[in-house]
Amino acid sequence: VRKTFPSSVVTSEKRLKSTLWDLDVQPLISSSQWLQRHGLKRNKLSLSQILSQIGFQHREDYVSTLGKFVASRYADGLFPQYLRAQDGRVYNLTAKKELILHFVDCLTGAIELYKQRMEWVTSESRQIFGVILESCITIVLDFGTVCRTEYDLCRDVLSMVLSQQVTQLAKFNLIRTAQDLVKWQQKAVPVSEYSVECAVKWLWKLDHMPAISSTSSTEALLEAISDETVSLYISSEVSSKPKNIQWENWIGSFILMNSGVRLQEEPRFASLATIPFTSQCQL
């Protein structure tokens, strides 16, 4: 997964304060899983489900003596009717105004919830990293040769990820690529308010220095793979597209060869995300 980093996302630590969202909006799950919980069908608000509660289908049966289908004529003109464009079925609407207004309120609430979910998914740290679905992750910090201003911008974004998403995970760790590898913890640790706070403080104490070694990124990634994290999220500066593709292919091959499973099974390290910070440094 490759995502570009818009320089306008974070300009100060004030951006770390999250917008107030409905609790139903915030679970770190995929959109399909979220819709299974909050979709119209789950809440009996799909068109077919509503129609079955506010009326009945206008029937059309085959009359053998006439040799054709004949529509029923009971209460002809008594009820307002609704024609479903999808299949041409006609429904007689019998519900009282109060029930109709109830469904209007329910649908209005559902629409508002979906809007909030869309805004939440595409805002703050999720705008760069997406929604982190795994419960145990190692974030490899490869800042490359970015300038000081951009370096601080990267740390702003990573602080947002820690405070907004990692707080909902089970275990995490941070590894910084350098000539001498720098690890926040030796192994991934359980998530707590204290551990996340310590990780943010550690992040902001890191000196601004380039990763001199050409193999530092690989060494950091191999170190992360040796831990019991399910997924790796790589935060790196990408200097050239072909080089990055080659690097990703090599990593993918390494993960597959060292996963200890058959090819038809899902590899242990199934998810590798590269997030290149490609914004231009403006002094």
pLDDT digits (tens, 9 = 90+) for 47-83: 889 988 998 887 666 556 666 666 666 556 778 888 8
Is the Cβ–Cβ distance between 181 and 273 less than 8 Å? Answer: no
What are the Cα distances from residue 82, in Å, to 74, 86, 97, 99, 256?
16, 12, 15, 16, 56
Which residue ranges in the chain fall short of pLDDT 50? Answer: 1-18, 238-247, 254-271, 278-283
Q: For the whole prediction, is pTM greater than 0.85?
A: no
pLDDT at position 73: 61
Architecture, CATH, for domain 13-19+127-276:
3-Layer(aba) Sandwich (3.40)
pLDDT at position 69: 64
CATH 3.40.50.410 maps onto the chain at 13-19+127-276
Degrees, nearest 5: CA angle 20-25-29: 130
pLDDT at position 151: 83
Q: Tell me the CB-side half-sphere exposure of residue 8, using CA atoms within 13 A.
A: 1
51 closest CA partner among 77, 78, 89: 89
pLDDT at position 83: 80
Is the Cβ–Cβ distance between 109 and 96 less than 8 Å? Answer: no
pLDDT at position 5: 45
Q: In this structure, are strands 171-176 and 55-57 parallel, antiparallel, or unpaired?
A: unpaired
Alpha carbon distance 154, 264 (integer Å): 38
pLDDT at position 180: 78
DSSP state of 114: H
pLDDT at position 267: 38
57 closest CA partner among 87, 14, 98: 87
174 closest CA partner among 213, 209, 139: 139
DSSP state of 103: H
Alpha carbon distance 97, 104 (integer Å): 11
DSSP state of 67: T
